Structure 1
């Protein structure tokens, strides 16, 4: 299993790096759109649509929605994403309560749109915007940073959880996660934010804002992870798919990012650090 995971990572990492950091804006939108569409194919199964035609149909629907929103006002969609993740937090906290409201396949399908579309919009907003944070001026840096926030939070949570993880965070949703893991992840992200401010030569006030924004994004990324865990538990499956040998599915790899990206994109736009985030 470890050999398979490493081999898959070695193949996918260069593809992801090229697609995210070296494609022009339209190529980036298409590349990330393909990834989101594959995630939608997986989400259809989590929503309860198990037949191949239904899953392909849902993926096609999500792809059409991405095309439809391509020129819509970005901030409105980011606000929608933020509102959704606040609601998702309440859903995770109440589980297994509330399943009578959201447990039907059509409602879970709509949930997939609220997860996937704002994430794609936020990612392209970051890619096409101009970052003005200290000496950093590229939207690509913003993408790299939000990825680092999620990865660092995950690493910090892993080690803190192993060392101190007694009080469970959401035992009915994901028994392995602990409050110690959350605090460890936030502490690691705080160090990342301070280091980023120093590297960028940012003013103290901007560094403090980045610290607060980063910790908020790290916190909401946990909700993204828990939401997918909740849906998989409700659906009775372990992985979103087997598209990535040794790693499960695409949603298993990007669940935290789908929550973190729209929140981060909105926050740094509201601070004035990211400007002109047009889709083209």
Structure 2
């Protein structure tokens, strides 16, 4: 399984990096919409929306919201990113509530009640803000002193933080899990395999990659501590995103959100941490002005 997982990553990573660095913002936003909506389709399945027509209508409704945001953001001088920024802030707030949801494992676990409503709302609050944050980062807005117009590199840095944290956590958990904290697990009821050692490894890996990426994007030496702080919070957010998707899968009684990617499961299995980290990184970057 590890070889299959690694091979799939070696194929996907260059394609993703090339798209981020070479495509213009409208194209990367359109491509991201396709990927995020595919993940949302799997989210509907985890919420046990069994009717294909119902899932299709819901997906079209979310696509219409994306189109509406882009259309409403047009201006004489190009695009105003106010709605994208507002959605990103809403996303940060949502993931705070998701953390509280994780503390109450049984909330919305019975799909015979209003559970589907809550999970569908959660899907919108996870996917749309992440997509907006991606567009905001890639566009290079705001163009504060020190960041030039390196939105492509900043988006790559934000995603690389999540990828590095995920990989570092995986290998740290496998090799050092149980050594520091014995048999204590990070979230045993939601994701029994996650360890505190893995969390620490992910934090270290994510912050290091975030700092290195920020230097490529034009961050100054004085800004590096702030970059490290935002990267750290983004890593923690990605863990919340990963755990929340695990919660959905536990409620649905499935191992993976799908089987599209060999060794990795579904699209949602690959972007769960990204959904949470992107709004956090985008808002943190804007707050500290790097």
**What TM-score results when the alignment is normalised by the length of structure 2?**
0.84
Residue 108 of structure 1: aligned partner: 119
Residue 91 of structure 1: aligned partner: 101
Match of 2:206 among 184, 189, 212: 189
Q: Deviations over 1:60-82 (max 9, x none)?
A: 12111111222262221111000
Q: Say whether 1:60 aligns with 2:38.
A: no
The 5 Å alignment of 1:12-27 reads 12-13=12-13, 15-27=15-27
Query: How far 1:176 sits from its partner (Å)?
Result: 0.5
Q: Which moved more, 1:125-134 or 1:112-121?
A: 125-134
Q: Say whether 1:128 aligns with 2:156.
A: no
Residue 248 of structure 2: aligned partner: 231
Query: How far 1:2 sits from its partner (Å)?
Result: 6.2
Task: Give the Cα–Cα distance (whole angstroms) in 2 for the partners of residues 200 and 250 of structure 1.
Answer: 28
Q: Deviations over 1:84-106 (max 9, x none)?
A: 00000111122135646996212
Q: Deviations over 1:10-48 (max 9, x none)?
A: 654454344333222222221111111111211110111
Residue 78 of structure 2: aligned partner: none
Q: Which moved more, 1:154-163 or 1:222-231?
A: 154-163
1:69–1:27 CA distance, 2 compared to 1 (3 A) = same
- SS at the partner of 1:228? helix
Q: Which moved more, 1:209-218 or 1:150-159?
A: 150-159
Q: Say whether 1:207 aligns with 2:224.
A: yes
Q: Which structure 2 residue ranges, 5 or more long, are not aligned?
A: 74-81, 179-183
Give the root-mean-square deviation of aligned CA atoms. Answer: 2.6
Task: Give the Cα–Cα distance (whole angstroms) in 1 for the partners of residues 4 and 176 of structure 2.
Answer: 30
- SS at the partner of 1:224? helix
**What TM-score results when the alignment is normalised by the length of structure 1?**
0.87
Task: Give the Cα–Cα distance (whole angstroms) in 2 for the partners of residues 103 and 182 of structure 1.
Answer: 33
Q: Which moved more, 1:36-45 or 1:251-260?
A: 36-45
The 5 Å alignment of 1:70-81 reads 70=70, 71=73, 73-81=83-91
Query: How far 1:132 sits from its partner (Å)?
Result: 5.1
Q: Say whether 1:220 aligns with 2:237.
A: yes
- SS at the partner of 1:225? helix
1:133–1:157 CA distance, 2 compared to 1 (3 A) = farther
> What is the total number of aligned residue pairs between the two structures?
273
Q: Which moved more, 1:17-26 or 1:173-182?
A: 17-26
1:43 touches 1:240 (CA, 8 Å); kept in 2?
yes
The 5 Å alignment of 1:36-47 reads 36-47=36-47
Task: Give the Cα–Cα distance (whole angstroms) in 1 for the partners of residues 10 and 173 of structure 2.
Answer: 28
